[in-house]
Amino acid sequence: MAEFRHDPVLLDRITDLVAPAVAGGGLLVDATLGLGGHTERLLREFPALHVVGIDRDPEALALATARLADFAPRFTPYRAVFDDIPGALAAAGADSTRGVLFDLGVSSLQLDSDARGFAYSRETSLDMRMDSADQVTAADVVNEYSTEELARVFSQYGEERFSHRIARRIVRERDTTPIVTTTQLADLVAAAVPEQGRRRGHPAKRVFQALRIEVNDELGALRRGLTAAVRATAPGGRIVVLAYHSLEDRIVKRAFAAGAHPPVPPGLPVVPPDARPFLRLVTRGAERPDAAEVAANPRAASARLRVAEVIGPVPPAWQAAS
């Protein structure tokens, strides 16, 4: 395990924030089990708690299950994309939960692996699938999408200013040589981005983020996952989300705001049931790790934590939006 160390972000704060919902026991869904760092703490801290841990990555699920062996009767692993919260509850014989935790993105296991293709700084095949049974790899996207589609992915998911230049460069290159490795792509991106585009870190960083989001449909999964989480959580239960970039955080912020302050149609004498708040914001804005945590764990630098409590029935038509 030492090889794949992953320091859980905001561990104490998250433990405190879920305590009111889970200290008395019941079930919590860890929607992004990873290496099980958050789950291990919660199982240790709350002796009556049962956790269902979801991950779409079978390797992470196997490692976390081994790590959590001492808690076996109180832990259920579940391999899925995290919008399948009903399936995860059924696996644990439950129909609602006291909380759902999302710690989004990739784990150190995936980033540091020599075979997964998530890191532009490592020479590996251009894969980026969180679940190796999925069909489409980053190499498929890079070699098969049109210039316009590539530019859209880089601009929308990487917020990359030079998306068209990069897309054109890729399409020109792949006419002669297929792009199959991380370093091949990182070098191409670096060559396509002019000097002023290098001031915000390595130019490949945003392109790699964009490809990862596209390959794993990360934002679609987050919208569906949040909707499923809010629906599955019993009143008094809490939804905890750690996001690592502004695209994720915006979806979380809007979903929580829509539940805490639903739009009330003007001129109605009574508030209709569908316009009553069903969430309460527990955190004020997004909380960030302090300087000491960031110094010890650089991955925490971009983390933004938001927590909401379910306070009433969720309107049947409600869905988390972009």
Ligand X SMILES: C[S@@+](CC[C@H](N)C(=O)[O-])C[C@H]1O[C@@H](n2cnc3c(N)ncnc32)[C@H](O)[C@@H]1O
Contacting residues toward ligand X, per CB under 6 A: 6, 8, 32, 34-38, 54-57, 60, 81-82, 103, 105-107, 130, 221
User: Which residue of this chain has its Cβ atom nearest to ligand X in the complex?
Assistant: 34
Using the minimum distance from each CB to ligand X, give the nearer residue, 6 or 206: 6
Using the minimum distance from each CB to ligand X, give the nearer residue, 19 or 111: 111
**Inter-CA distances, 231 with 185, 220, 225, 278, 313, Å:** 41, 17, 10, 10, 8
| Smallest separation (angstroms) from ligand X to the CB of 221 | 4
Euclidean distance between CA atoms 8 and 39, whole angstroms: 10
Among candidate residues 36, 8, 4, the one with its CA nearest the CA of residue 299: 8
| Smallest separation (angstroms) from ligand X to the CB of 190 | 27
| Smallest separation (angstroms) from ligand X to the CB of 134 | 11
Euclidean distance between CA atoms 213 and 251, whole angstroms: 14
229, containing H or E segment: helix 218-232
Euclidean distance between CA atoms 86 and 300, whole angstroms: 30
| Smallest separation (angstroms) from ligand X to the CB of 36 | 5
Structure tokens at 301: 């630098």
Using the minimum distance from each CB to ligand X, give the nearer residue, 134 or 159: 134
Using the minimum distance from each CB to ligand X, give the nearer residue, 21 or 167: 21
Helix segments in the chain, DSSP class H: 11-22, 37-45, 58-67, 85-91, 108-112, 138-144, 147-158, 163-174, 182-192, 204-215, 218-232, 246-260, 291-296
| Smallest separation (angstroms) from ligand X to the CB of 272 | 33
Q: Do residues 143 and 178 make contact, with C-beta atoms less than 8 angstroms apart?
A: yes
Among candidate residues 197, 193, 191, 196, the one with its CA nearest the CA of residue 179: 191
Using the minimum distance from each CB to ligand X, give the nearer residue, 89 or 170: 89
Using the minimum distance from each CB to ligand X, give the nearer residue, 37 or 203: 37
Q: Quick check: helix, strand or coil at residue 242? A: strand
| Smallest separation (angstroms) from ligand X to the CB of 281 | 22
Using the minimum distance from each CB to ligand X, give the nearer residue, 186 or 221: 221
| Smallest separation (angstroms) from ligand X to the CB of 275 | 30
